[in-house]
Structure 1
């Protein structure tokens, strides 16, 4: 009955650009029960992807260590309700990527410290868990190769960076490769303008190192390149409209810094201070509809904050701006079919909250519970 009533309500507002609920902050007005009969009672940071039909899909690890997901009722509007599709096997947070056919694929570290995945079907549901194997210690990072196959980067039990790559687009099999090094925490992955994947890691002395594919969809270069710096959280990266990859890190002073390429698929410049006081949670990045890069993170006051490129392709960023809320982990960001960014996080009440831009490139509405 609740679902039918909600769908009837959604139908009346589907023509609108966005349905804005009661404006509030995460943790404020806790009017939802904290039990798994309602939703995921989430732990760790969520993940979000966009379905082939344009609907956002949010993923979270519940307190029961199962995978939960919720799909927008129609692109950009409302939610269908959370579904539990796990059996208590998640050892870390989910990571989502799209395969060559547009299906969402979820990767997780299992409680057995192996890599697992689950793939969306043509019907929009998800197939069974498939154990990829390996021995990993942190959350994976996933990216799509130029040929459409998926690659996953993980930290192995001995501290090396490993990659698992599909044998081909959409295939259920793949192979592991040891990329060496001694890394700390989860890696980051991004595609350069020439199609080659790039891996960023935190290495010895808390410095940043980068390793790049020797050719698109192929093997990786044998050596790491030292990028310096001193960081204390996993790095993230985003390619801008200018074709340059921009690295974002949290320094030992807890401020945000960025390091851009000097030319597309080329070498890197120097770090620029972007300020703020951030927690140890990993940042999230995306591009706005107008091409500007946006970075999201949890501030020391537990609210979400954002830093936005002043002009698309400029590589210059404004000062941190608060989005409000009270969160227990880092953010995830999705792009609605109309270009509006939507930020998701686990509130201090352990529910998933989100806030979407009121219009593309615009300000954000208040956080509401994602149900």
Structure 2
């Protein structure tokens, strides 16, 4: 899974996307704060590989990207749009391969610009990144090689508050950063950061009108934050492995960034700090029951702008949910199984 899989739709209802065998499933709230619908298959009966990238535009539409088997030893990417969680998603639509044909080249990432156009990113066989973008009036443009060398799996795509799409990638020497100069343009490689980055730990978030922030774990185990044009800041030791979940939210009248991760203890760890003020410091606070090793966390805000956290374990299919209480601080309700 790449991207946020807990989303708030344009009708205010929360939905969750999950992998199940060779399919993608969706569950959604039937009304405010539940109850939830039973899992439904997304995109028809197309057989998929167990990989999924999720992106969402300001219109609330979810864009899903996965790999499907085509010929023996070969695969191709497919895309689906889900306009509303309670409606059927569009059927999976083949969108090709960054190298025309071949096996899977890595986990895709997807971001949606201010015009509602999906941009799909995926490593290519040359060690760089390729991109495919939707056209303004429908259909897809050509595959474009964004260059780069020795790009590692686990791309982080994000749309800034400007509505333009940005991309971060880990390489052996650190991080690469691409940005669109104008809406609809091909993202251009802007900056390379020299840093000891663990691959597979990137998560990007729009944090101001001018900036996006990428979070990553360095080789010493510290969670770091970087905004292009500046120096990376060390926040605190990572609570667990893999990328953190991240969301901006209002906490007692302050614009804060909330992070969450499955901790080594098996519980969910939360940390919050004033957005783009890493020097203020942050610390982990654990919550909920012990979770399976493969459990992942996602964060969102509901229609009342209240923080919601969800955990999902692929091995058990167990979905747990909690919300912030209506009181000062980051007090959470009891975790509930959905």
TM-score bracket, normalised by the shorter chain, equals: 0.7 to 0.9
- Cα deviation 1:139-188 (Å, max 9, x = unaligned): 211223344332211111x1512212223332224124211211112311
**Aligned partners of 2:207 and 2:276 also within 8 Å:** yes
Between the aligned partners of 1:172 and 1:25, the Cα distance in structure 2 is 37
Between the aligned partners of 2:125 and 2:331, the Cα distance in structure 1 is 42
| SS in structure 1 of the partner of residue 88 of structure 2 | strand
**Aligned partners of 2:130 and 2:146 also within 8 Å:** yes
- Cα deviation 1:182-240 (Å, max 9, x = unaligned): 111231111225643222111133221122x3xxxxx4212432422442221121001
Structure 2 vs 1, CA of residues 125 and 316 (structure 1 numbering), >3 Å: closer, same or farther?
A: farther
| SS in structure 2 of the partner of residue 80 of structure 1 | coil
**Aligned partners of 1:275 and 1:319 also within 8 Å:** yes
**Aligned partners of 2:52 and 2:64 also within 8 Å:** no
**Aligned partners of 1:162 and 1:180 also within 8 Å:** no
| 1:85 partnered with 2:85 | no
- Corresponding residue number in structure 1 for 2:259: 247
**Aligned partners of 1:166 and 1:175 also within 8 Å:** no
Between the aligned partners of 1:226 and 1:113, the Cα distance in structure 2 is 30
Shift of 1:298: 2.2
Structure 2 vs 1, CA of residues 63 and 139 (structure 1 numbering), >3 Å: closer, same or farther?
A: farther
Structure 2 vs 1, CA of residues 194 and 265 (structure 1 numbering), >3 Å: closer, same or farther?
A: farther
Between the aligned partners of 2:110 and 2:327, the Cα distance in structure 1 is 26
Match runs of 1:360-371 below 5 Å: none
**Aligned partners of 2:57 and 2:114 also within 8 Å:** no
- Corresponding residue number in structure 1 for 2:46: 39
**Aligned partners of 1:40 and 1:61 also within 8 Å:** no
Between the aligned partners of 1:274 and 1:206, the Cα distance in structure 2 is 21
What is the number of residues matched between the two proteins?
A: 289
TM score, norm. by length of structure 1 = 0.67
Larger RCO, structure (CA 8 Å, separation 6 or more)? 1
Between the aligned partners of 1:42 and 1:313, the Cα distance in structure 2 is 44
- Corresponding residue number in structure 1 for 2:24: none
Shift of 1:76: 5.0
Between the aligned partners of 2:323 and 2:138, the Cα distance in structure 1 is 33
Given candidates 247, 258, 265, the residue that maps to 2:276 is 265
Which segment is superposed worse, 160-169 or 65-74? 65-74
- Corresponding residue number in structure 2 for 1:60: 66
